[in-house]
Chains A and B, each alone.
Chain A
Amino acid sequence: MIECKKLSKRYRSHFALSNLDCTIRENTITGVIGRNGAGKTTFMKLVAGYLKKTNGELRVMEENPFTSLKVSANTIFIDDQMSLPTSLNLGELLDSFAMFYPKWNGSLANELMVYFQLPQKSYVQNLSKGMRSTFQAIIGFAARCPLTIYDEPTTGMDSAVRKDFYRALLKDYLAFPRTILLSSHHLEEIENLLEEVLIIHNQQAFLHMSVSELKESVVAVKGDKLAVDHFVAMHGKLAYHEMVPGTVMAIVKVHNHVRRDDFPELTFTNLTANEAFIYLTDSQEGGIDRVFERSQLV
């Protein structure tokens, strides 16, 4: 569905994406994950054909999305800054979407409007932030676009609505499989939903794997300092903390499959996908604590 090779995007002087390589298969839910400013939104706007690439190659549905009518007709991009005409009420907006998207599921849209208590006669500029997000999410479901892109769709939603949203997304995906890109800051909320994660870090595709592979790739090990050091030396160290003298806990990126029975003196703990992601993309050893410690020394 989406193929990029060495895809780069430059805004005036700085690169928002550089040399990103990835392939996203049809009919998968992929989480686009990254820290603030990593380039998630830029990537998704390039895919939707909003932005023009600076370098590299980008094919969506085998076409260049920037000029392709086919990509536009088969893609819907939902984010919190989605531009909607203020002269039409919600019902009329839904009618407009129905006109443009031939697979529009009108009955689902209306049922969801009732469920989330969105009156058809109200206007989008009078909705609260969370209600607006909910309305836009409904558009995303009902449009049934082969490529559906959600960029931070749950902004402003309360936790009950967020839960409903994820459940609805999954149900709708199972009923009408399609390619979904979903970005969120809350990986812990969506990790059960995702099949694959694309981690964008420092303007590049850092990792692209299934959620279970992501979880397996990072482990926490605890035990005797010497044994841990020995283990850490074989793999990649992400974090290291001496809990009491002689006993160490380390977060490790494992390079190959680890048979835990081979290390009886170590205790292994699995991490959630979110924790794995945070450790993998943490640029500073010691995190925010270290910054404060350093500033107090001065």
Chain B
Amino acid sequence: MSLNEASLFDVVKKQIRFKMKSYTGIYHSLIILQILGLFVASMGEGSMSEPGFGRSISVQSFGSGPVVAVTALWLFINTLLLTTRAYREDDFTFVSTRWSRQLANFSFIAILATLGTATAFMGTNALKVILFWTIGELIMLNNLSFPSIVESLVVLFAYLVLIAAVAYTIGSIVQRRKWLGIGISLLFILFGTVSIGYDTTSINVLIYFFMIEPNFLVLILKLVSAISLLFLVSWMASDNQEVRV
């Protein structure tokens, strides 16, 4: 029987298609979490009131923060799951090499991040509609021009991919050296907890490095390089991984 000459691009494409079709649980959890996020967001972020004689002013503010937060959480958890044994073994039941799997998983992450960005954006608009119906006097502070909306969506997408890349890298390391991966994660959490309230701890510097950057292009450059670095580290961690041991 003659051998099939498989091209890497072709196999990666098929793997992505397979993942989109079979990982149905991911979509369900996104819907549920975003509904939850909308619910939290509709309760408002904060309020202030001015008591006075005869009348008082009370202002309540709302934001789409919770919707974005649950989307990030959703992506983080599901990307972590992508690295687990069951998903890995499923891949190798069909045609896969370690390299094609890495490429397919990162492409799939990008697709999930796109989905997350789109639904979070739509969720923000849904929030406006909900508030419009439930609260009479609504002041919308939406003075973003179209290009800056696009810019903010690109940045949101890049942040989501960064979060997923962190999860994928942690997951890949955990799969190889369980305690090393858990240790790194614990260290981050511990460091993060300790450094709340301080400006100059290394973890805060790291966060500011990505969060506070006024120049759009520089920010994108920073995010892309960080994602590439994580891609490399996760590939180094999973390059030699055996399946079905």
Residues of A within 8 A of B (CB): 11, 27, 45, 49-52, 61, 67-70, 72-74, 77, 81-85, 87-88, 92, 96-97, 99-103, 144, 146, 176-179
Contact = CB atoms under 8 A, between A and B. Distances in A.
Contacts of A178: 1
B21 interface: yes
B188 to A, nearest CB: 30
Interface string B1-16: 1111110100100100
B237 to A, nearest CB: 15
Contacts of B243: 50-51
A92 B240 CA distance: 31
Contacts of B17: 99
Given A72-B95, A103-B1, 14 more contacts: A11-B245, A45-B244, A51-B245, A69-B99, A70-B5, A72-B97, A73-B4, A83-B86, A83-B89, A100-B94, A100-B95, A102-B4, A146-B4, A179-B1
Nearest to A88: B22
29 contacts: A11-B245, A50-B92, A50-B245, A51-B243, A61-B3, A67-B97, A67-B98, A67-B99, A69-B95, A69-B99, A69-B100, A70-B4, A72-B6, A72-B97, A74-B3, A83-B86, A85-B22, A85-B90, A87-B24, A87-B25, A88-B22, A92-B22, A96-B18, A96-B22, A99-B18, A100-B94, A144-B1, A146-B1, A146-B2
Contacts of A88: 21-22
Contacts of A103: 1, 4
B23 A87 contact: yes
B193 interface: no
Nearest to A148: B1
B137 interface: no
**Residue from A68, A84, A85 having most chain B Cβ neighbours under 10 A:** A85
A146 B23 contact: no
B93 interface: yes
A238 B100 CA distance: 50
Contacts of B6: 69-70, 72-74
Nearest to B24: A87
Interface of B: 1-6, 8, 11, 14, 17-18, 21-25, 86, 89-90, 92-100, 240, 242-245
Contacts of A49: 97
Nearest to B245: A51
B21 A68 contact: no
Contacts of B22: 85, 87-88, 92, 96
A27 B1 CA distance: 8
B89 to A, nearest CB: 4
A50 to B, nearest CB: 5
**Residue from B18, B23, B240 having most chain A Cβ neighbours under 10 A:** B18
- What are the 6 A-B residue pairs with the smallest beta carbon separation, nearest first? A83-B89, A73-B6, A146-B1, A85-B22, A100-B94, A178-B1
A78 to B, nearest CB: 9
Contact of B14 (A27, A61, A100, A179): A100
Nearest to A26: B1
A275 B158 CA distance: 65
Nearest to B92: A50
Contacts of B18: 96, 99-100
Contact of B244 (A11, A70, A81): A81
A208 B60 CA distance: 81
A50 B242 contact: yes
A96 B245 CA distance: 24
Given A69-B97, A96-B18, A101-B95, A83 B4 contact: no
Contacts of B21: 88, 92, 96
A83 B244 CA distance: 9
